[in-house]
């Protein structure tokens, strides 16, 4: 899957365990009536993909949806989803004039009649 948006938050890399590291970031998708702030994560050797981008840059994010099941101490089952980015490309608008621009496609807006919720 892919989406284009404006880089809103660029977090530092976090060493979660001896063998696992991740880096989270948020983009703002303005393609619909209500802006969507979407959090992604980069893992392991992909954490550095975000280094050349600044907050405010338009980027295209290629990602996979990951889901997992977890059972809490009360034996209740919970489900969690994450958006795992695996590739980033520069969008049409860059704050840095040295970054090359690439063709981008925004995800089309939903029909207003099918989704009138403000989130």
DSSP letters for 61-80:
EEEEEEEEEEE-TTS-EEEE
pTM, entire model: 0.72
pLDDT top residue among 8 and 91: 8
User: Does the residue 23 lie in any domain?
Assistant: yes
For the chain, the domain total comes to: 1
How many whole angstroms separate alpha carbon 67 and alpha carbon 79?
A: 7
- Could you tell me the pLDDT band of residue 112, with boundaries at 50, 70 and 90? very low
Identify whether 28 is part of a domain. Answer: yes
Predicted local confidence at residue 116, as pLDDT:
53
pLDDT, greater one: 52 or 106: 52
Q: Is 10's pLDDT higher than 60?
A: yes
Instruction: Give the CATH number of the domain where residue 49 resides.
Output: 2.40.50.140
What is residue 60's three-state secondary structure?
strand
pLDDT the model gives residue 91: 79
Q: Residue holding tokens 């207003």?
A: 112
Query: Is residue 11 included in any domain, yes or no?
Result: yes
The string of pLDDT tens digits covering residues 51-71 is 999 999 999 999 999 999 999
70-90 confidence digits (pLDDT tens): 999 999 999 999 999 999 999
| H helix or E strand, kind and range, residue 15 | strand 14-17
39-43, 106-110, 114-118: the lowest-pLDDT one: 106-110
Question: Domain limits at 71?
Answer: 2-90
């Amino acid at each position: 899957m892919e989406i284009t948006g404006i880089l809103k938050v660029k977090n530092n890399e976090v060493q979660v365990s001896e063998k696992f590291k991740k880096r989270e970031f948020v983009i703002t998708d303005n393609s619909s009536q209500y802006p969507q702030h979407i959090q992604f994560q980069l893992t392991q050797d992909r954490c550095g993909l975000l280094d050349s981008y600044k907050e405010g840059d338009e980027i295209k994010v290629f990602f996979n949806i990951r889901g997992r099941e977890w059972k809490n101490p009360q034996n209740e089952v919970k489900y969690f989803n994450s958006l795992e980015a695996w590739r980033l490309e520069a969008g049409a608008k860059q704050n840095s004039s040295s970054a090359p621009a690439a063709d981008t496609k925004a995800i089309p807006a939903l029909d207003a009649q099918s989704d009138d919720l403000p989130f």
